[in-house]
Chains A and B, each alone.
Chain A
Amino acid sequence: MEKDLVRQSLSQHGPSLLSLLKSEQHEHAGFKQLLGDLSKWPQYRKERNAENPELQQFIARKADLLFATSWKSNSQEKSEMQEVAQGSYAVMPPLEQFMEVPSAQKRELFFRDAERGDIVIGRITCIREFGFFLELLCMGSGILRDIKDLKINALCPVRDVPSQSSHGDPLSYYQTGDLIQAAVKDIDRFHEKLTLSLHKSALPTHQSFIKLGVISTDDMPEYYRQSLVLSDNLNTFEKILRQSLAFSNPSSVDILLSKLGIDESNPPSLIRGLQRENFRDQDYAPFLRKKQSSSWALKCVKHGVDYFKVGRHVDAMNEYNKALEIDDKNVEALVARGALYATKGSLNKAINDFEIALENCPNHRNARKYLCQTLVERGGQLEEEDKLLNAESYYSKVLTLDETFTEAEEALSKLRQRMQKSLEKREEQDEKEEKVKEKKIETSAEKLRKLLKEEKRKKKHKQGSSSSSSSGSSSDTSSSDSHKKQKKKKRRRKLSESSSRSKKSLSNDPSHHKEECYSPPANTSASFLNHKSEVPKMLKEHDRLGHRRASAARDRSLSSSSFEIMERIRGRSEDSIDSLSSTKTQASSSRTCSEASAGKYKSSRRDSTDLYKTEERHRNSSLDHLEEGRKSSRKSDLNLSKHVSADSKERRSSGNTSGLYKTHSQGNTSRACTDEQRIVESDKAQNGSAAATKCMSGDLLNILTQIADFEKEKGTKLKNK
């Protein structure tokens, strides 16, 4: 029982309360202690209200609660409370303003109650060399009183005015009439003198954020504004309160409760049965709910286990899930579900459940056992998948859970042996690889260069292609290239006829083409591959056609001149294709080709024949047309380059070549030309869908023109020789 409180109450209510207290609280241990002290000070107030025995009886009965120390501690917290946001509760004008307390008393009470560290707001009335005087308007903190008409003057000495950097004299910064917020530094209650300070150090620590110094009228406290409104326009407390928007703020109750230091989680009551100590924790709602949930969940688990025993796994799972929905930390449900997962083979889910169960109940024997078993099983799985490190971590996890789990130990030692072996193996392999690498080092530089070139080319294609497929665009460029080449070719022929330089240009040519026609390896761009997959299909059909005709032409060409063949082909092509002019031009171009090739070339064209043969073979045999196309183009390139390199040799051995070869070569070249023609024709015929085909034909054209070029040049060279 709080002595001060009892004394205060007694001084108000007089000796009758004391006697009542003695009779009511004689059993209270704290009161007995107090009793000795109480008898010493019977200084009761003289002017007491009419005694109210009912009230005194009540006080006496409830004295142990009313004067309990626990209540007192509550109200002390509020002094530490920080300012709350505006609008959270209704700020009212000061009570004394409504009560119309005489100014003298207000002034007296102000000097009685004001304290060091309080914030006051006032206007500067005069500035002297030793400081400036304020006439106080209102309070900024602490007791929010109505002091605006009390003419309270306060001195703010110069030493308590922080100097502003730009002004030598700190006082020159201030002017008469400025609104100043200052902290009370000293208070002389007897002489009613206040000393203020503008230094932050004068503020209590929990209010050190408040700005001292000049403020504007907007910074005036809310209560002061309300007070001004009230003095202009008299209104009742109740009306102002009810008109205030903040009064209807539903959260105002909570805010004010905390401001006043009342704890709602342990609400006060003067009824003995409602004291907190009479309530047991297990009677509170959260506890009961938890208890109920866990028993409910257990019931579900039981059902689930029953289902599980009968083999109705889905129903069992439903029950377990329901149990966990009711009580998400139910260990039994987690273990049961984990076991079900494990039997169903979802080892990871099972492990997860067991782990959560163990987290919540670290001593759960079954959870631990099952977890260990499942971990070992999962480790075994991982081992089979060759994820040895993961498996190892699973095994070692088991051992951290249960050192005596021999199964895991065995598995772990086995695994470590296996890992050792595999490590050794890998080392061997690495060594081998290193050796191989060493060998390859010489060639790798070349490879790198090739790769780089390829990369560049691909980039170009990518840039070129927008909405159309990459294959289409790439083929477009190559086909246009080939057209150019055709023109070039004519020019070149003229040149090469006179100059030996042509050989050089030729030898450059195929290598150049090699870059262009080199299709990317399958593993670099799958998309490219897919796009192209349609192309060979089309190509296949054309090829077949072309090939049949070409072979027929070849048969004939063996005996007849290429000129005739050209004529025939032309005729046939005219039959099959509507546009006469296009075929004509094509035919003429092919004629020039065949003319050139059918000239007096006597060079050993076996290579080129081989080339065509292989190409043909590829076209016929290979089912994977893309693959085939790529291969053939690569091969042709290869052959071309080989051809070039073998050039000099062949030239030397040209004398050995037979006439048969000659005709062969003639026939083949012409066939090549027909092929080319066919493709070009079909291109023109199928303008719409031919974009893709064009690409292939472009590729082919490239190759073919190259070959033709080469042969021509060869021929000219031979001639020159």
Chain B
Amino acid sequence: MDTCNVPGSNKDVKTHFKVSRFIIEAGVKLGMHSVPIATACTVYHKFFKETSLEKYDPYLVAMSAIYLAGKVEEQHLRTRDIINVCHRYQNPGHEPLEVDSKFWELRDSIVHCELLMLRMLNFRVSFQHPHKYLLHYLISLNNWMNRHSWERTPIATAAWALLRDSYHGDLCLRHEPQHIAVAVLYFALQCYGIEVPSNNNAETSWWQVFSEDVTELTINNIISDLINIYTMDTEIA
């Protein structure tokens, strides 16, 4: 496992998990699509790979990451919405913030933080996400599999859910997008006990078709990373 790359302790991982969770939840409430959310999480994880949690408030970074991701993925979000949703997340049940000087200060800090992040990431904020790969894999698989077993089994939904959940950790930084996509698909098929037809008789197994350089070891690593995320979820909750 590549977790040794991650700086910081287990505590940091937990914090990042929480903040990532915050990003994803806020993203859902903001109506963000999966790809912008993925970008926001990637930006967040990448940022804290460059620096440490002591230096910056992770939640502010997360808010700026959401704002930035909206721009990068061309799903423009309004800072006011971001502030409202995030404020509500931190203070459940509270009334939305008054639009006063405090509000505008918060907004300014988000914008400033966004600039800081851009500079920290050397303005490289456009990422190749596994999403597109996964969807194309799913279409190919759909055509090769029996229609009824495909329709009966929510492979696509499960794979999509796994992929979205993977952003709770920094998998996106440690693995190729194709590998993640393949692993997620593999995991989903495993969960439902489904095998790709004739995979054993074929010259090339299906995951190797999708990504030449992926090995079963990588797939299993990613899967165990994913499982770790879910374990952490129960630990924190």
Question: From residue A422, how far is it (CB to closest CB) to chain B in Å?
Answer: 56
Q: A265 at the A/B interface (Cβ < 8 Å)? A: yes
- CB contacts under 8 Å to A, within B115-138, are 131-133, 135-136, 138
Q: B144 at the A/B interface (Cβ < 8 Å)? A: yes
> Are B143 and A144 within 8 A (Cβ)?
yes
Q: A267 at the A/B interface (Cβ < 8 Å)? A: yes
The 0/1 profile, CB within 8 Å of B marked 1, for residues 251-285 of chain A is: 01110110111101101111111100001000111
C-alpha gap A96/B152 in the complex (Å)? 22
Q: B29 at the A/B interface (Cβ < 8 Å)? A: yes
Question: From residue B198, how far is it (CB to closest CB) to chain A in Å?
Answer: 5
> Are B193 and A90 within 8 A (Cβ)?
no
Max chain B CB contacts within 10 Å: which of A8, A237, A257, A285?
A: A285
The 0/1 profile, CB within 8 Å of B marked 1, for residues 105-124 of chain A is: 11001001101000000000
> Are A112 and B199 within 8 A (Cβ)?
no
Residues of the B chain whose Cβ atoms lie less than 8 Å from the Cβ of A66: 158, 191-192
The 0/1 profile, CB within 8 Å of A marked 1, for residues 219-234 of chain B is: 0000110010010011
Given contacts A99-B203, A261-B156, contact A285 B30 (CB under 8 A): yes
Which 5 pairs from chain A and chain B are nearest by CB?
A12-B193, A100-B203, A268-B161, A99-B202, A256-B135
A-B contacts, 29 of them at CB < 8 A, read A8-B153, A9-B193, A12-B195, A55-B223, A58-B230, A59-B191, A61-B230, A62-B191, A75-B150, A76-B151, A89-B135, A99-B198, A99-B206, A102-B201, A143-B143, A236-B209, A238-B178, A238-B212, A252-B135, A260-B156, A267-B161, A268-B161, A270-B165, A271-B233, A272-B233, A273-B237, A274-B165, A283-B89, A285-B30
Q: Chain B, interface size: which category? A: 35 or more
Q: A292 at the A/B interface (Cβ < 8 Å)? A: yes
C-alpha gap A257/B159 in the complex (Å)? 12
> Are A273 and B136 within 8 A (Cβ)?
no
Q: A337 at the A/B interface (Cβ < 8 Å)? A: no
Question: From residue A19, how far is it (CB to closest CB) to chain B in Å?
Answer: 16
Residues of the B chain whose Cβ atoms lie less than 8 Å from the Cβ of A98: 204, 209
C-alpha gap A719/B51 in the complex (Å)? 130
Q: A74 at the A/B interface (Cβ < 8 Å)? A: yes
What is the interface size of chain A, counting residues whose CB is below 8 A from a CB of the partner?
A: 83
Residues of the B chain whose Cβ atoms lie less than 8 Å from the Cβ of A253: 33-35, 131-132, 135
> Are B190 and A55 within 8 A (Cβ)?
yes
Question: From residue A122, how far is it (CB to closest CB) to chain B in Å?
Answer: 18
Question: From residue A63, how far is it (CB to closest CB) to chain B in Å?
Answer: 9
> Are B80 and A289 within 8 A (Cβ)?
yes
Which of A8, A254, A257, A272 makes the CB contact (< 8 A) with B192?
Answer: A8
> Given known contacts A241-B133, A272-B237, A285-B30, what 19 new A-B pairs fall within 8 Å (CB)?
A12-B190, A12-B192, A54-B224, A58-B230, A66-B192, A92-B139, A94-B144, A95-B140, A95-B143, A96-B202, A99-B202, A101-B202, A106-B198, A236-B212, A247-B132, A268-B160, A279-B29, A288-B81, A288-B84
Q: A10 at the A/B interface (Cβ < 8 Å)? A: yes
The 0/1 profile, CB within 8 Å of B marked 1, for residues 270-309 of chain A is: 1111100001000111101101100110010000000000
Closest A residue to B187 using CB positions: A55
Residues of the B chain whose Cβ atoms lie less than 8 Å from the Cβ of A299: 98
C-alpha gap A285/B83 in the complex (Å)? 9
Residues of chain A touching chain B, judged by Cβ–Cβ distance below 8 Å, are 4-5, 8-13, 52, 54-55, 57-59, 61-62, 65-66, 71-72, 74-76, 79, 89-90, 92, 94-96, 98-102, 105-106, 109, 112-113, 115, 142-145, 223, 236-238, 241, 247, 250, 252-254, 256-257, 259-262, 264-265, 267-274, 279, 283-286, 288-289, 291-292, 295-296, 299
Residues of the A chain whose Cβ atoms lie less than 8 Å from the Cβ of B199: 99
C-alpha gap A55/B212 in the complex (Å)? 24
Residues of the B chain whose Cβ atoms lie less than 8 Å from the Cβ of A92: 136, 139-140
Question: From residue B125, how far is it (CB to closest CB) to chain A in Å?
Answer: 15
Residues of the A chain whose Cβ atoms lie less than 8 Å from the Cβ of B237: 272-273
C-alpha gap A285/B81 in the complex (Å)? 5
> Are B156 and A274 within 8 A (Cβ)?
no
- CB contacts under 8 Å to A, within B172-214, are 178, 187, 190-195, 197-199, 201-206, 209-212
C-alpha gap A270/B158 in the complex (Å)? 8
> Are B164 and A267 within 8 A (Cβ)?
yes
> Are A260 and B141 within 8 A (Cβ)?
no
Residues of the B chain whose Cβ atoms lie less than 8 Å from the Cβ of A247: 132, 136
C-alpha gap A8/B153 in the complex (Å)? 9
Given contacts A12-B193, A98-B204, A252-B132, contact A295 B160 (CB under 8 A): no
> Are A113 and B31 within 8 A (Cβ)?
no
> Are B29 and A284 within 8 A (Cβ)?
yes
C-alpha gap A335/B39 in the complex (Å)? 45
Residues of the A chain whose Cβ atoms lie less than 8 Å from the Cβ of B92: 283
C-alpha gap A11/B81 in the complex (Å)? 48
Closest A residue to B233 using CB positions: A271
C-alpha gap A10/B209 in the complex (Å)? 28
> Are B206 and A54 within 8 A (Cβ)?
no
Q: B154 at the A/B interface (Cβ < 8 Å)? A: yes
> Are B158 and A238 within 8 A (Cβ)?
no
Which of A58, A241, A265, A295 makes the CB contact (< 8 A) with B31?
Answer: A265
Which of B150, B160, B204 makes the CB contact (< 8 A) with A262?
Answer: B160
Q: B53 at the A/B interface (Cβ < 8 Å)? A: no
C-alpha gap A58/B192 in the complex (Å)? 12
> Are A113 and B194 within 8 A (Cβ)?
no
C-alpha gap A342/B46 in the complex (Å)? 59
- Choose, from B7-15, B20-28, B105-113, the stretch at the interface: B20-28
Residues of the B chain whose Cβ atoms lie less than 8 Å from the Cβ of A254: 33
Residues of the B chain whose Cβ atoms lie less than 8 Å from the Cβ of A54: 224, 227
Residues of the A chain whose Cβ atoms lie less than 8 Å from the Cβ of B154: 5, 71-72, 74-75
> Are A267 and B160 within 8 A (Cβ)?
yes
Question: From residue B95, how far is it (CB to closest CB) to chain A in Å?
Answer: 7
